[in-house]
Amino acid sequence: MVLKYLIEKEFRQMVRNPIIPRLIVIFPCLMMLLMPWAATLEVKNSRLCIIDLDGSSLSRRLTEKVCATTSFVPASTAVHYDDALLDVKRGEADVILELPPKMEYHMMRGEPVDIQVSANAINGTKGALSASYLTTVIQEFFAQEGGSQSVAMPVRIVEKSLFNPRLDYKVFMVPALMVMLLSILCAFLPALNIVSEKEVGTIEQLNVTPLRKFDFILGKLLPYWVVGLVVLTLCFLLAHWVYDLTPAGSWPLLYFFACIYILIMSGVGLVISNYSATMQQAMFVTFFFLLIFVLLSGLFTPITSMPVWAQWIARINPLTHFNQVMRMLYLKGSTLTDLLPQLYILLAFMAFFNTWAMLSYKKTN
């Protein structure tokens, strides 16, 4: 009975707050509508500087084919490589394509031709992808023209992309953004809850009641557990309506793992709030840990590409395992048997953080 009134009090406080109800609705909508278009590693509209020292019909067809793709836009032309390099240094070009003199003449005679591709690698990912895209376009062009040795190769390579046939980066990022959204809301809101009661003074009224620690922590967890499920459902609807994405796996299994993960992040928020004396402390500490969790969870970069010490940190990061669950259920259609390792780890995290939250809550009768 006491737990019922405590949960009712939490919901009343949320509804009376002028910011939290709007935040619960507006924040997921903005994240799901804007972030998938911005959080992408696809490289498009790279500015191309062309050095055409051949001036033949073949070189013109090649440059037209390159510029016809969405990956490149013609930014400038140059006569010398040094002039093109100045465009790159000024930030007016990203990639340089240099076609050698007498390129068509040498190709007609079956002689090798050297084409130089130079990419601005200050942003290493963008530079490598731009150079790779341009090289692929050039190889396809010469294969069609019959001037590439690949035409005579006895081996035919057929590519097939599994789980994401269109190679759409949004398909990869939308489940990860749901994980990040749940992490932020379900950690920040509980972290600020107890601290706000400390600043207002209502925590003292609760401390003098016969309320048990277990009931108090459970009364703080369950309302945000409901909020997390509502937010996740809103994200699912937006992903379906806007990006036509639906989970390939089981809906009940997805909600089952989400229930566990929401309790984990709410427990993290309660632990932080128990040790914080002011709202500023709780906000800075929560932001600090969330930043580490997000960067070392594989949301944006593969964990296998990280140093060994970072991979060990990622293994003790709850975001890592729930991110794997979301992508495996959304893209692969995995079953509970496939997700048993993540299930055991998430259950251990849930027990650890919520037990810590209950033990760290200082109650004086």
Q: Which residue has the higher pLDDT, 210 or 333?
A: 333
pLDDT at 45 over 90: no
Query: Is domain 46-152 in CATH 3.40.1710.10, yes or no?
Result: yes
Q: How much of the chain exceeds pLDDT 70, in percent?
A: 93
Average pLDDT over residues 52-79: 88
Write down the pLDDT at residue 364. 56
User: Which residues of the chain are in CATH 3.40.1710.10 domains?
Assistant: 46-152
Of 114-128, 155-169, 275-289, 306-320, where does mean pLDDT reach its minimum?
155-169
Average pLDDT over residues 200-205: 73
Average pLDDT over residues 112-133: 84
Write down the pLDDT at residue 154. 46
pLDDT at 76 over 50: yes
Q: Which residue has the higher pLDDT, 47 or 16?
A: 47
Biggest CA–CA distance in the chain, Å, is: 95
Measure the CA–CA gap between 303 and 170, rounded to whole angstroms. Answer: 19
Write down the pLDDT at residue 146. 64
Mean pLDDT of the chain: 84
pLDDT at 152 over 50: no
Range of 28-37, 186-195, 283-292, 295-304 with top mean pLDDT: 283-292
- 271-310 tens-digit pLDDT: 998 888 888 888 899 999 999 999 888 888 788 878 899 8
* DSSP string across 264-300: HHHHHHHHHHHH-SSHHHHHHHHHHHHHHHHHTTTSS
* DSSP string across 160-182: --SS-TT--HHHHHHHHHHHHHH
Of 32-41, 81-90, 253-262, 309-318, where does mean pLDDT reach its minimum?
32-41
Write down the pLDDT at residue 160. 65
Write down the pLDDT at residue 340. 93
331, 168 Cβ separation under 8 angstroms: no
Q: Which residue has the higher pLDDT, 41 or 332?
A: 332
The amino acid at 225: W
What per-residue string of b and e applies to 275-292 under the rule 16 or more CB within 10 Å gives b? ebeeeeebbebbeebbee
Write down the pLDDT at residue 17. 76
Phi and psi angles of residue 95, each rounded to the nearest 5 degrees, phi first: -135, 145
Average pLDDT over residues 235-243: 92
Average pLDDT over residues 120-133: 82
pLDDT at 257 over 80: yes
How many C-beta atoms lie closer than 10 Å to residue 110's C-beta? 8
Q: Which residue has the tokens 């789980």?
A: 163
pTM over 0.85: no
pLDDT at 165 over 60: yes
Please give the structure tokens belonging to residue 194: 């107890």
Please give the structure tokens belonging to residue 347: 């259950």
Measure the CA–CA gap between 178 and 239, rounded to whole angstroms. Answer: 10
Nearest CA among 279, 188, 231 for reference residue 22: 231
Write down the pLDDT at residue 324. 92
pLDDT at 317 over 90: yes
- 207-216 tens-digit pLDDT: 677 778 787 7
pLDDT at 365 over 50: no
pLDDT at 150 over 50: no
216, 245 Cβ separation under 8 angstroms: no
